[in-house]
A and B are shown apart, each in its own frame.
Chain A
Amino acid sequence: MDTPSSSGAGPGGRLLHLHRSGGSSFRRRMRPGGGGGSEAGTPLGGVSYVSTPIPDDDAFDAGADKYLLAKTYFDCREYRRAAHVLRGHVGRKAVFLRCYALYMAGEKRKDEETIELEGSLGKSNVVNQELVALERELSTYRRTGAIDSFGLYLYGIVLRDKGCEGLARTVLVESVNSYPWNWCAWLEIQSLCTTSDILNNLNLKNHWMKDFFIASAHLELKMHEEALKRYERLMGVFRCSDYIQAQIATVQYSMRELDDADMIFEELLRTDPFRVDSMDIYSNLLYAKESLTALSFLAHRVFLTDKYRPESCCIIANYYSLKGQHEKSVLYFQRALKLNRKYLSAWTLMGHEYVELKNTPAAIDAYRRAVDINPRDYRAWYGLGQIYEMMGMPFYALYYFRKSSHLQPNDARLWIAMAQCYESDPLQMIEEAIKCYERAANSNDTEGIALHQLAKLHSMLGQSEEAAFYYKKDVERMEVEERQGQNFVEALLFLAKHCKSIGRYEEAEHYCTRLLDYTGPEKETAKSMLQGIKREQSGFPSMDIDHFAL
Chain B
Amino acid sequence: MNVFAGVRSAAGAEQKDAGSAGGEALLELTPHRMAVCHLVQVFAPQQEGGPATPPFPFESVAHHNRLGLFLFSLTRSCEDFLEPPLEELLRQLKAVDDLVNGWLCEQLTTTLSGLISPDDLFNFFDKLRGVLTSPEGASVEDEFLDPNSQLGVYLRCCILAFNSMTFEGVCHLLSNLVAYCNSAETSYDLAEDEDFNSEMEMSDLMDADIGVRAGVFDKYGQGYATESHMGESSSSFIHAPISLHDFDEDNIFKADENPTCLRSRWQLEAYLNQQADILEKDPSSVPLNSFNATMTQLQTLAPELHRVQFLQHLNALSHDDYVSALDNLHRYFDYSAGQGLFSRSLSANQDIIVGKYESALLSLGSLHCYFGHPKKALEAFTEAVRVSQMNNDDSCLAYILGAISNLLSKIGISSTVGIIGSPYSLGNNSGLGTPLSIQQQLLVLLKRSLKRADMLKLTSLISFDHISLAKFDLKHVQRPLVSFGPNASTKLRTCPADVCKSLRLSSHVLSDFGTGDLSTSHDNGSFSTSWLRNLSTASSSWCSSSAKPGKQIVNDFDNFHFNAQPSPIPTSVLQLAGSAYLMRATAWEHYGSAPMVRMNALVYTTCFADAASSSELSLAYVKLIQQLVVFKGYSVAFGALKIAEEKFPSSTNPHIHLLKMQLLHDRALHRGHLRVAQQICDEFGVLSSSVSGVDIELKTEASLRHARTLLAAKQFSQAAVVANSLFSTCYKYNMQVENASVLLLLAEIHKKSDNAVLGLPYALASQSFCKSFNLDLLEASATLTLAELWLALGSSHAKRALSLVYQSLPMILGHGGLELRARAHIVLAKCYLTDREYSVSEDPRAVLDPLNQATEDLQVLEYHDMAAEAYYLKAMAYNHLGKEGEREEAAARFKEHVTAVENPHDEEASLAY
Contacts and interface: CB of A to CB of B under 8 A. Distances in A.
Given A143-B243, A365-B335, A368-B334, A395 B229 contact: no
A36 B421 CA distance: 78
Contact of A428 (B11, B305, B421): B421
Interface string B355-373: 1010011001000000000
A362 B265 CA distance: 23
A45 interface: no
A56 to B, nearest CB: 22
Given A125-B260, A136-B246, A365-B10, A384 B334 contact: yes
B1 A427 contact: no
Contacts of B168: 112, 116
B504 interface: no
Interface string A125-139: 101010111011101
Contact of B262 (A123, A391, A427): A123
A83 interface: yes
B471 interface: no
B167 to A, nearest CB: 10
B361 A396 contact: yes
A102 B268 CA distance: 36
B481 interface: no
A136 B251 CA distance: 11
Interface in A104-156: 105, 112-125, 127, 129, 131-133, 135-137, 139-140, 143
A121 B355 contact: no
B364 A396 contact: yes
Nearest to A140: B243
B327 to A, nearest CB: 9
B256 interface: yes
Contacts of B338: 361
A181 to B, nearest CB: 29
B23 interface: yes
A136 B250 contact: yes
A430 interface: no
Contacts of B335: 365, 368
B243 to A, nearest CB: 5
A425 B229 CA distance: 69
Interface string A64-84: 000000000000000011011
Contacts, number: 163
A131 B254 CA distance: 11
A473 to B, nearest CB: 32
A124 B303 contact: yes
B200 interface: no
Given A122-B302, A395-B383, A116 B169 contact: yes
B256 A121 contact: no
A337 interface: yes
A426 B230 contact: no
B434 interface: no
A362 B232 contact: no
B2 A399 contact: no
Interface in B362-419: 364, 379-380, 382-383, 386-387, 390
A396 B229 contact: no
Contact of B353 (A105, A113, A361): A361
A392 B387 contact: yes
A393 B334 contact: no
A215 B241 CA distance: 41
Interface in B693-722: none
B138 interface: no
B166 interface: yes
Contacts of A124: 1, 300, 303
B557 interface: no
A492 B380 CA distance: 39
B304 interface: yes
A428 B330 CA distance: 23
Contacts of A364: 10, 334, 337
B383 A116 contact: no
Contacts of B169: 116
Interface string B337-362: 11000000000000001010100110
A341 interface: yes
A119 B300 CA distance: 13
Interface string A354-378: 0000011110111111001000000
B172 interface: yes
Given A120-B265, A391-B357, A426-B421, A362 B234 contact: no
Nearest to B259: A125
Contacts of B12: 359
Interface string B5-35: 1110011100000000011101010000000
A132 B337 contact: no
Interface in A237-284: none
Closest 4 CB pairs of A and B: A121-B302, A122-B304, A361-B10, A120-B23
28 contacts: A83-B236, A98-B236, A102-B233, A112-B168, A116-B168, A116-B172, A119-B262, A120-B24, A122-B5, A132-B250, A139-B243, A140-B242, A140-B243, A337-B3, A362-B7, A364-B10, A364-B334, A365-B6, A365-B10, A365-B334, A365-B337, A391-B357, A391-B387, A395-B361, A396-B380, A425-B422, A426-B386, A428-B421
Given A139-B246, A362-B11, A395-B364, 11 more contacts: A87-B239, A120-B23, A121-B265, A127-B257, A132-B250, A135-B253, A136-B250, A140-B240, A361-B355, A368-B334, A396-B380
Interface of A: 80-81, 83-84, 87-88, 98, 102, 105, 112-125, 127, 129, 131-133, 135-137, 139-140, 143, 162, 334, 337-338, 341, 359-362, 364-369, 372, 384, 388, 391-396, 399-400, 425-428
